[in-house]
Structure 1
């Protein structure tokens, strides 16, 4: 539980760990989202999208765009990705932020984890949510979670995480972790140097931080509401986007917009009182991007070929990571 909850408290991350990578690229108008062209998830072996090529002076950074959720029964296999990754000198990990307390520090924190996900003062979801939002929650809870009354005492942000995961599972979707596991196997097999690009968040007094979190309120109603909105009307579109990624059809992904609960959920944590008094937890998204860009430029200067993975959202948005490299004078080419 410590490994799950503590990173969430370090959030200052772009979104909750359990919701990570569900963000789609900036999308076109919703007019095209009304007609969902397919319902059946692709199964079997699929390649996913091609690679973005960032280059300068004969040095190349290959970037693979990851996406979630993906079809549960899909087996990912891309000969292009495998070949280029195997010939690269370094692999850059995705941007991130983490905090470490060590083994014994973790043991000391265990008593403070009890009740961490609960609302302060024994409040229930009905107590902390607007009546109309709670009314929307009840049928979705019945559909995806059944008679789980214990979740009624959890904070909205954690209840939303549980509900969303259950909704994905019922829709035949998964978080897509298998893709990263395959990449890790190739990296290990070819003994490719791994360059960690994540930043570390300082935890001078993690026990105090946990206590403050348990006592503080979170402005997480918007996160909860956006999650409901996705499950109410976006499941079919999520299936289409999952199929599109598996087939390498980026155009289809971009045509389907959706309610963005990630931003709302991330803001709820980043704006919480327990982070405002900690300088090390400020401007985390900007620091993450700066750290990754620094690692990318260093790798481009040193290696003939470097491989990296980024979320599609971070690749395609106008102010994303590859746009920043392009602004610095690098040539950026999209997959064919």
Structure 2
């Protein structure tokens, strides 16, 4: 999960609808300056990684891991994935939090100015006034490199400014999100008549005006999130490019050796501990997102001979709480490179041809 999703989901929901997968609030147009950047080396049609195999009581779930950043010039196609989807009775979509605001259309229109104002620092303060001087100097250098001249962003909360910087930097490095892969998977499911199951955890915001006030008065202490995101942009983007390449060509061993950035965890901690999250009762949303997806996966394994599922690849490489919960139920988990915790000396797992 993206580290900034809780605040962003709340704000965009108040502005007319949002989800965990939203990437950024709108920003003023500016020029991206990308000089001397290492190019993403992989291009053309690529298969992506293999599939994790989760099996229990003779039933199988094939899991494709997604990376948050993909080479923009890669066309993804996997015969293995196509065969697995064709032989499945259900496609389980990735974990998702859906924010719903209890307000009518016109009420949401009136909320828009307040929602976008909430991304700004209180009392009109600039980043220079709320950040330590050394951290602000780093921001200035990275802003000049990836964003350019934009005075408006200087009044944004550090977390939202960092989000915009990361988005621009990824674009400059030739990286994009995972939408292309997910769309291709959905198209395969539609082609073969496989039902798609959305294991969404829904967050209902009963009183949106009060929610915005709570966010503005007790928002996240996001300097640590800001600093970690700057660390990621300065040091992790070359690794992120290499991870994207490794994903595209299916190099699981390389992916295991390139852990994800710590910026996400720092931002999740800042959001979960914030006063607004406690006031709104959404501090435990990350755990409930996990629980909702795991419950759907358990049901799929119990009811279907074969299921296809999507998860962030870092949840598979660790393995994270999703696979841990299924393993605790007695499921056997095999990694595509046969070095998974339960794989032993088994031969590479291949999708079944039918249900």
TM (norm. structure 1) is 0.86
Cα distance in 2 between the residues matched to 1:103 and 1:183: 34
Q: 1:107: how far off?
A: 3.1
The 3-state SS of whatever aligns with 1:202 is strand
* Equivalences for residues 48-127 of structure 1 within 5 A: 48-101=48-101, 104=105, 106-127=108-129
Mapped contact 2:158–2:226 kept (Cα < 8 A): yes
SS across alignment from 1:100: strand
Q: For the residues of structure 1 that align with 2:127 and 2:267, how far apart are their CA atoms?
A: 16
Q: Name the SS for the 1:118 alignment partner.
A: coil
Give, in angstroms, the shift of residue 109 of structure 1.
Answer: 2.5
Distance (whole Å) between structure 2 residues aligned to residue 225 and residue 82 of structure 1? 41
Matches within 5 A, 1:196-211: 196-211=198-213
Equivalent of 1:193 in 187, 192, 195: 195
Please say if 1:264 is aligned against 2:269.
no
Q: 5+ residue gaps in structure 1?
A: 20-37
In the alignment, which residue of structure 2 is the partner of 1:254?
A: 256
User: Can you give the 5+ residue segments of structure 2 that lack an aligned partner in the other structure?
Assistant: 14-19, 25-37, 338-355
1:141 and 1:163 in contact (8 A); partners too: yes
Question: In structure 2, do the counterparts of structure 1 residues 40 and 288 end up closer, same or farther at CA, with 3 Å as the change threshold?
Answer: closer
How far the C-alpha of 1:306 sits from its partner, in A, is: 0.7
Q: Which residue is 1:284 aligned to?
A: 285
CA distance in structure 2 between the partners assigned to 1:314 and 1:207 by the alignment: 35
Partner of 2:214: 212
Q: Secondary structure at the match of 1:121?
A: helix
Superposed CA deviations along residues 65-106 of structure 1, whole A, max 9, x for unmatched, are: 001211110001001101111221111111121121265253
Aligned counterpart for 1:130 among listed residues 126, 129, 132: 132
1:293 maps to 294
Q: 1:173/1:142 Cα in 2 relative to 1: closer, same or farther (>3 Å)?
A: same
Higher relative contact order (CA 8 A, sep 6+): 1
8 Å contact 1:230–1:258 — kept in the other structure? no
The offset of 1:5, in angstroms, is: 6.8
User: In structure 1, what is the Cα distance between the partners aligned to 2:308 and 2:260?
Assistant: 30
Once the two structures are TM-superposed, the CA of residue 324 in structure 1 deviates from its matched residue by 1.9
Structure 2 counterpart SS, 1:159:
helix
2:61 alignment partner, SS class: strand
- The answer (yes or no) to whether the contact 1:51–1:335 under 8 Å persists in 2 is yes
Deviation at 1:186, TM superposition (A): 1.4
Distance 2:159 2:314 in 1: 22
Per-residue Cα deviation, 1:25-45 (whole angstroms, up to 9, x for no partner): xxxxxxxxxxxxx85420000
Say if 1:10 and 1:98, in contact at 8 Å, map to a contact too. no
Distance in 2 (alpha carbons) for counterparts of 1:18 and 1:265: 14
Which deviates more, 213-222 or 119-128? 213-222
Q: Which residue does 2:352 correspond to in 1?
A: none
Cα pair distance change 1:136/1:165, threshold 3 Å? same
Deviation at 1:218, TM superposition (A): 2.5
CA distance in 2, matches of 1:196, 1:16: 13
Structure 1 pair 112–96 and aligned structure 2 pair: CA distance change class (3 A): same
The secondary structure found in structure 1 opposite 2:23 is helix
TM-score (norm: length of structure 2): 0.82
Whether 2:257 is the aligned partner of 1:232: answer no
Q: Residue in 2 aligned with 1:29? A: none
